[in-house]
Structure 1
Amino acid sequence: MDDQLTTLSRVLERTDDRLRAAADGAARVWPTGFESLDLALGGGFRAGSLALVAGPQGLGKTTFALQVARNAVCAGHVAVYFSYEHDPEDLMQRLVTLEAGERYGVDSPGLDKVRAAFEDHTNSASLDDRMTGLRGGDEALKAVRDYADRLHIHRSTGTSTDLEVISSCVEEVWRSTGQMPLVIVDYLQKVKVPTPGLSDEDRTGVIVESLKDFAIDGEMPVLAVVASDRAGIQAGKRMRVQHLRGSSALAYEADVVLIFNHKYDVVARHHLVYDIGNAERFHQWAVLTLEKNRQGKDGVNLEFRKRFEQSRFESDGHMVTEQLVDERLFQD
């Protein structure tokens, strides 16, 4: 999009017009649905902002991103999920599992059982009948159907899904729904760039700058999952913003940077030595650090219980009370 020169008077006029339109005026902040995180962010992800989420492999980055999308559409917003890692059917199964978990907790069927019900090719029963056979399955399926029209999923590939495709899809959603969506890119480093032969650093710079411009021009939030470099995925090491692949561009352009770590990996040694029972408990929690926050305070450490068998985090997290360190000082 071409640069646009405007006066502050025109900005005031546009703002006033937007606020007078109730539907448009309400969509300036998209809550994540994680109450403690929304409190730290001043309500959620803001229009025109680029947020990044990172963490070690297997610590729930996709789980978190999909749960944020689900929470947004449950609140009446629209979301577009660009998935470079998972097909739409897989995401749908995760959402059904999540909804069952929200209703029945640890007594709900896990993702393995939901997948088995979906993928049993010897069974000719309908989707509804298959879900009725699982505890809470029928309620979970109904919940997904209730917001299914507001959650758009794009099966993206690193060979064809570039920023132009992303922009075109978002515009299509906006025209069909009348709402600017929350945009989720999973994950950033797989977005195709038009210039071949760039280094990882330069590719990441092109993508993150374009996504930031895209968020500003579209007046919507963009949440992107990002990968770490080799140093950031070492066992027992706390991931920080400098460990993200293309970290200089990511740290500069992003408005919000969220980084997950295993709680067990980042608590100070004395919490483990003097209470061995903490080791098992800490394995059940993930620490989400608000490393950068142009919307307010940063350096905030929150913790959320992992319920990955139910494809979710418990959303009622809280501040970490234990002392954290940069690297694990206690070994199994």
Structure 2
Amino acid sequence: MSTERLQSLTDLIDTTDATIRAGSVAGARVWPTGFHALDKALSGGLRSGELVLLGGPQGLGKTTFALQLMRNVVAAGRTAVYFSFEHDTHTLLERLISLEAAEHAGLNGVPLHQVRERFEVRHGQSESLADRLAGSPGGPEAVAALRDLGGRLHVHRSSGVHTGLAQIRRVVEAIRDTTGEAPLVLVDYLQKVAVGTDHVGEDEQVAQVAEGLKELALELAVPVAAIVAAEKFALKPGMRMRARHLRGSSALAYEADILLLMADKFDVVARHHLVYDLGNADRFRRWVVVTIEKNRNGVDKVELEFHKRFEQSRFDPEGREVTEQLVEERVFVD
């Protein structure tokens, strides 16, 4: 029997004392997400050793939320790596520029569609990216800020055929060795991670990946966050997503330390909030509800809401607790 991971409680106390005397953090390290209502609910943010899963319907902003979280972590002085199975790197850069422009110019910051237009022009080959964005509110400042953050912000163009758990680990370790800090890990999305075998069912594949990402979080003492896909039946308009609706739900629900589920507020708000004030319908469509479905180390069943700013590829970072009654299915009103 292997004993290489065996440690007596006395040894653990001695090691902890040595860590404290050295001026280091003895407990879990915390990565604030920059979404203030979420950080408050999670007692500061994401923690080392945690597996965090983010689910929700298509088009609701899961990638936007994850990219903004990564940007916030890096802006706070930490390091992060984004494994993108769904989007090419230039698409992610466009989103990050529009998001960062909003940090400098607020709601007047250059919108995403204009950033895309500047990327796609073919003339002016001698121009730089900052040149193309000159005159756009917050554009040049966004490029400069992202250059400053760039050494700590990493994007990996991942492949569902070639990028498996071993490669993810190698990339994370390489970043740690280069920067001196283990990064926050973001995977978009979990069901795309290659498992190297066609002889097991999807549930078993999901279980292998979830277990592997959890092991990575523990061994490298980092938070690992992953976007997760839902079963097809759960993608119909108006259905409020729950843990049981995720592909490979039993493994995901077990392995996750934190499970965040997104919903369009209009789809899940109770009817009586609409029938007495039809103006609420348009207002509710501008908000996304993020439910802390599971939180192994704190409170759960917390329902938060964040204002969509999709024209700038972001959410308003403040957020707040939901005060209206929510339901499980879409409510239609005349």
Q: Normalising TM by the smaller chain, what interval?
A: over 0.9
Counterpart Cα distance in 2 of 1:122 and 1:144: 24
Q: Does 1:54 align with 2:52?
A: no
Contact 2:275 2:333 in 1 (8 A): no
Give the corresponding residue for 2:129: 127
Deviation, 1:26, is: 9.2
RMSD: 1.8
Q: Which amino acid aligns with 1:154?
A: H
Counterpart Cα distance in 2 of 1:34 and 1:173: 25
- Choose from 157, 160, 163 the match for 1:158: 160
Contact 1:260 1:289 in 2 (8 A): yes
Q: Which amino acid aligns with 1:213?
A: E
Deviation, 1:277, is: 0.2
- Equivalent pairs counted in the alignment come to 332
Pairing of 1:246-261 with structure 2 (within 5 A): 246-261=248-263
SS at match of 2:241: coil
Assess, with a 3 A threshold, how the Cα gap between structure 1 residues 92 and 27 changes in structure 2: closer, same or farther. Answer: farther
Q: Does 1:103 align with 2:104?
A: yes
Deviation, 1:19, is: 4.0
| Residues 201-253 of structure 1, C-alpha deviations (whole Å, 9 max, x = no match) | 11111110111111111111000000000122111111111101100000011
Contact 2:28 2:49 in 1 (8 A): no
Deviation, 1:102, is: 2.2
SS at match of 1:62: helix
Give the gaps of 5 or more residues in structure 1.
Answer: none
Give the corresponding residue for 1:266: 268
| Residues 85-137 of structure 1, C-alpha deviations (whole Å, 9 max, x = no match) | 11222211111100112222332221111011122112222222112131111
Give the corresponding residue for 2:30: 29
Pairing of 1:60-79 with structure 2 (within 5 A): 60-79=61-80
SS at match of 1:132: coil
Deviation, 1:3, is: 6.7
Counterpart Cα distance in 2 of 1:3 and 1:38: 36
- Choose from 313, 316, 319 the match for 2:318: 316
| Residues 19-74 of structure 1, C-alpha deviations (whole Å, 9 max, x = no match) | 45557669701011111101111111100000000110011110011111111111
Q: TM-score, normalised by structure 2?
A: 0.95
Assess, with a 3 A threshold, how the Cα gap between structure 1 residues 179 and 25 changes in structure 2: closer, same or farther. Answer: farther
Q: Which amino acid aligns with 2:200?
A: L
Assess, with a 3 A threshold, how the Cα gap between structure 1 residues 19 and 70 changes in structure 2: closer, same or farther. Answer: farther
Q: Does 1:215 align with 2:217?
A: yes
Give the corresponding residue for 2:194: 192
Give the corresponding residue for 1:41: 42
Contact 2:30 2:46 in 1 (8 A): yes
> More displaced, 251-260 or 89-98?
89-98
Give the corresponding residue for 1:81: 82
Q: Does 1:202 align with 2:204?
A: yes
> More displaced, 135-144 or 11-20?
11-20
Give the corresponding residue for 1:15: 16
Contact 1:209 1:253 in 2 (8 A): yes
Contact 1:272 1:330 in 2 (8 A): no
Assess, with a 3 A threshold, how the Cα gap between structure 1 residues 26 and 297 changes in structure 2: closer, same or farther. Answer: closer
Counterpart Cα distance in 2 of 1:318 and 1:241: 22
SS at match of 1:250: helix
Assess, with a 3 A threshold, how the Cα gap between structure 1 residues 233 and 183 changes in structure 2: closer, same or farther. Answer: same
Counterpart Cα distance in 1 of 2:16 and 2:91: 40
Assess, with a 3 A threshold, how the Cα gap between structure 1 residues 157 and 331 changes in structure 2: closer, same or farther. Answer: farther
Counterpart Cα distance in 2 of 1:144 and 1:50: 27
| Residues 66-85 of structure 1, C-alpha deviations (whole Å, 9 max, x = no match) | 11111111111110111101
Deviation, 1:16, is: 3.6
Counterpart Cα distance in 1 of 2:119 and 2:24: 37
Q: Which amino acid aligns with 2:57?
A: P
Counterpart Cα distance in 1 of 2:204 and 2:53: 18
SS at match of 1:292: strand
| Residues 178-203 of structure 1, C-alpha deviations (whole Å, 9 max, x = no match) | 11110000100000002223211111
Identity among equivalent pairs (%): 53
Counterpart Cα distance in 1 of 2:333 and 2:190: 33
Counterpart Cα distance in 1 of 2:323 and 2:264: 15
Assess, with a 3 A threshold, how the Cα gap between structure 1 residues 97 and 21 changes in structure 2: closer, same or farther. Answer: farther
Assess, with a 3 A threshold, how the Cα gap between structure 1 residues 141 and 42 changes in structure 2: closer, same or farther. Answer: same
Contact 1:269 1:328 in 2 (8 A): no
Deviation, 1:328, is: 1.4
Counterpart Cα distance in 2 of 1:284 and 1:257: 23
